[in-house]
Amino acid sequence: MGGDVDYEARGQGYGLVRRADPRIAARIHAALGDARTVLNVGAGAGSYEPVDRRVIAVEPSAAMRAQRPPGAAPTVAGVAEALPLGDQSVDAAMATVTVHQWPDLPKGLAELRRVARGPIVILTADPDAVGGAWFSAYQAERVAVERRRMPPIAALVAGLSEGWDGPVDVETVPVPLDCTDGFAEAFYGRPERMIDPAVRAAQSSWGFLAPGAEARSVAALSADLASGAWDRRWGHLRTQPTFDGGLRLVIRRGR
Q: Evaluate if pTM is beyond 0.85.
A: yes
Q: What is the pLDDT of residues 191-247, one digit of tens each?
A: 999 999 999 988 988 989 999 999 999 999 999 999 999 999 999 999 999 999 999
| Structural domains of the chain in order of their starting residue, each with its CATH number | 7-252 (3.40.50.150)
pLDDT at 18 over 80: no
Count of alpha carbons within 13 angstroms of residue 39, beta-carbon side: 30
Confidence at residue 255, expressed as pLDDT on a 0 to 100 scale: 61
One-letter amino acid for residue 206 of the chain:
W
What pLDDT band is residue 34 in, cutting at 50, 70 and 90? very high
Cα(63)–Cα(56) distance, integer angstroms: 18
Q: Minimal CA–CA distance to 45: which of 12, 21, 80, 23? A: 12
% residues pLDDT > 90 (the chain)? 78
